[in-house]
């Protein structure tokens, strides 16, 4: 489980919302708190907290092929992440399968975003800021197993990737009963050499260190 906190709060807070969701292997907990502090927060304290929040990613953006999941990247990818997350809705899913171009237009996806989804360019979507959990939703809808996605992100064939697994025969997806038959008998097209990233592609099942 990953805990993400934004900003700094006082010792006096009120919980507004709390949920827990277990989609497949990793639990997702969401909590929203409201700061009830009355006195203005000292600017020096705010600066110190900001430095503390950012220290783990300090310098990461300077590493070749590294794509930290920053606030800016999160905002940029919000539209496509929302579009892919909506695939859990049967109506949206059916509309996408019937006419993906019409679905793209309705969601207002950019030309770049539409092209990534059309090509099923998993690694480019990761670099763009798409959450891995959204990739596996798309994979399930179009008939691609999670391991095919992992292999494509590493620039490997499925056979090559499976040799690195402790359970090489395990193929799985989050597909529901109304999705097409998974294309588990097909190899993904090999991608270019692997370039690391520091967000969703560090999903434990992908074999990429966090």
Same domain, 79 and 152: yes
What is the structure's pLDDT at 102? Answer: 97
Same domain, 136 and 72: yes
- Cβ atoms of 10 and 36 within 8 Å: the answer is yes
Polymer length in residues for the chain: 210
pLDDT digits (tens, 9 = 90+) for 157-197: 888 888 888 776 666 677 666 655 655 545 544 444 333 33
In percent, the amount of the chain with pLDDT more than 70 equals 71
Same domain, 45 and 125: no
pLDDT digits (tens, 9 = 90+) for 48-105: 877 777 777 778 778 877 777 778 888 999 999 999 999 999 999 999 999 999 999 9
What is the structure's pLDDT at 43? Answer: 73
What is the structure's pLDDT at 128? Answer: 93
Among 16, 43, 58, where does a domain finish? 58
Which residues make beta-bridge pairs with 33? 15
Confidence band of 115 (pLDDT split at 50, 70, 90): very high
What is the structure's pLDDT at 178? Answer: 61
Same domain, 108 and 179: yes
The CATH number given to whatever domain includes residue 171 is 1.10.700.10
Same domain, 48 and 19: yes
The radius of gyration computed from the CA coordinates of the chain, to the nearest angstrom, equals 19
User: 3-state DSSP call for residue 143?
Assistant: coil
Domain extent at residue 129:
65-206
Same domain, 30 and 70: no
Same domain, 116 and 187: yes
What is the structure's pLDDT at 179? Answer: 57
Same domain, 91 and 169: yes
Same domain, 27 and 70: no
How many structural domains are present in the chain? 2
């Amino acid at each position: 489980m990953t805990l993400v906190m934004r900003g700094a709060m006082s010792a006096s807070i009120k919980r507004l919302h709390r949920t827990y969701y277990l989609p497949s292997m990793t639990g997702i907990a969401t909590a929203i708190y409201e700061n009830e502090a009355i006195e203005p927060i000292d600017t020096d304290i705010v600066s110190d907290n900001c430095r503390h929040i950012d220290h783990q990613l300090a310098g990461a953006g300077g590493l070749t092929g590294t794509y930290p999941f920053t606030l800016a990247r999160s905002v940029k990818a919000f539209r496509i992440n929302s579009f892919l997350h909506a695939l859990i809705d049967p109506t949206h899913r059916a509309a996408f399968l019937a006419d993906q171009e019409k679905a793209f237009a309705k969601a207002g996806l950019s030309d770049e975003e539409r092209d990534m989804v059309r090509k099923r360019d998993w690694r480019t979507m990761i670099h763009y800021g798409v959450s891995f959990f959204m990739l596996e939703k798309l994979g399930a809808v179009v008939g691609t197993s999670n391991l095919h996605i992992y292999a494509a992100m590493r620039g490997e064939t499925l056979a090559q990737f499976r040799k690195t697994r402790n359970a090489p025969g395990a193929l799985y997806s989050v597909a529901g009963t109304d999705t097409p038959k998974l294309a588990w008998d097909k190899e993904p097209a090999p991608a270019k050499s692997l370039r690391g990233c520091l967000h969703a592609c560090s999903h434990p099942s992908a074999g990429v260190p966090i």
